[in-house]
Structure 1
């Protein structure tokens, strides 16, 4: 998997969006799966963001392996500068098949796979100090015989 900020933002802060590209293999083509994700603070593993639970990423793979993106939104209570690194965790479920790929007739949500490695660098997003625009100018002292003229 690979997680990165969406847009130009480079800080784990309230409302920031992270796009997590998840690679999968061994899925059953033609069966529906649901991918959910959360962002954890690397310092204490607390949950600081989640994919939208009202709009889970549902997909039906055409082949056993591939990639799918899930968007994670950082929680509203995460203040600027409070999180140095966030790590994406992913959870794959299905009501169509069980973890071994066999048809599931119960309709229950079956855990298929998860990726929850707090030390995975590819799943880590780092906060960077925002660039602060600056301008400067230098004026040399005019000699006593020169005057500023208005054009």
Structure 2
């Protein structure tokens, strides 16, 4: 059999290099490497609320990672490490998560613990991410070559914040004249709520009840169902309508600050915790009932009547 090599070369133009052996054409098998360099992008969030802000108790952060340029069917490892932005140091142990992509591009997730904030200041953590080829753990990471990395200490996509203590303080006054006494027939008690260290733009619920100094309920409620502060520190007011029938006693507002997404306010004015929501539900409160600056007398108090 005579082979026309010129004709065969033209027939194979644009294909892989061919070997002609005894009338057969053998095409070498090319390694199944990805055509593009590996790359990753990520967004890091609190697993409980899908935002980047954490209570002082810490929690679990989830990095949702998109990758490109991987080899389907091969093993890869994502390493996640918290990095204290203010102190420029690693915090805790890295977490290694293995995965096997089905396509060159796709998504995966990695979770890592976020520690409690025991300081008086908010702490920013950058989540450093490293992509390795193969199965890698803490012992072998020093010898492994990184395919892609994220080392961003500024973007909100990669930086989470763990708050210090968030607090509220309440004072109260007659809404009509600003003193600490309502007329016998009732009126409106205005409670001024000063807050510290809240997240600007986050959605909170403020809810409170007027209590007697002994702690007994009155069934008089007030709420701000959706409070979105513009700054960490600020003030907001709540108004409690006091009907007739409370003359002779004092009333004190007890107020709490809640995650809006974890509570609801039915028609009766009471606050209800939604089922199956994570704790904490209440973020801060000012339950102190023994303060003159939040105690309002209604009419003439019984003890004052006895003195006369």
Q: TM-score range by the shorter chain?
A: 0.5 to 0.7
Q: Residue 157 of structure 2: SS of its match in structure 1?
A: helix
Deviating beyond 6 angstroms after TM superposition, the runs of 4 or more aligned structure 1 residues are none
Q: Please give the TM-score of this superposition, normalised by the length of structure 2.
A: 0.36
User: What CA deviation, in whole Å up to 9, does each residue of 1:53-98 have, x standing for no partner?
Assistant: xxx311111111122111112358x6344652111110111238xx
Judge conservation of contact 1:25–1:64 (CA < 8 Å) in 2.
yes
Q: CA 1:140–1:112 in 2, change beyond 3 Å: closer, same or farther? A: same
Deviates more, 1:112-121 or 1:136-145: 136-145
Aligned match of 2:45: 4
Judge conservation of contact 1:45–1:118 (CA < 8 Å) in 2.
no
Aligned match of 1:85: 124
Q: Residue 108 of structure 2: SS of its match in structure 1?
A: strand
Q: Residue 85 of structure 1: SS of its match in structure 2?
A: strand
Aligned match of 2:260: none
Q: Residue 133 of structure 1: SS of its match in structure 2?
A: strand
Equivalent pairs, count:
130
Q: How does 1:1-151 map to 2 (within 5 A)?
A: 1-7=42-48, 10-11=54-55, 16-52=59-95, 56-74=96-114, 79-81=118-120, 84-95=123-134, 109-129=144-164, 130=166, 131-135=283-287, 138-143=295-300
Bigger proportion of residues as helix? 2
Deviates more, 1:4-13 or 1:84-93: 4-13
Judge conservation of contact 1:50–1:72 (CA < 8 Å) in 2.
no
Return the alpha-carbon distance in structure 2 between the equivalents of residues 60 and 109 of structure 1. 17
Return the alpha-carbon distance in structure 1 between the equivalents of residues 108 and 56 of structure 2. 22
Return the alpha-carbon distance in structure 2 between the equivalents of residues 88 and 126 of structure 1. 11
Q: CA 1:50–1:121 in 2, change beyond 3 Å: closer, same or farther? A: farther
Bigger proportion of residues as strand? 2
Could you say which structure has the greater relative contact order, defined with CA pairs below 8 angstroms and 6 or more residues apart?
A: 1
Deviation at 1:138, TM superposition (A): 4.9
Q: Aligned Cα RMSD in Å? A: 3.1
Return the alpha-carbon distance in structure 1 between the equivalents of residues 144 and 159 of structure 2. 28
Give structure 2 stretches of 5+ with no counterpart. Answer: 1-41, 136-142, 167-282, 303-308
Give structure 1 stretches of 5+ with no counterpart. Answer: 97-107, 146-151
Q: CA 1:74–1:127 in 2, change beyond 3 Å: closer, same or farther? A: closer
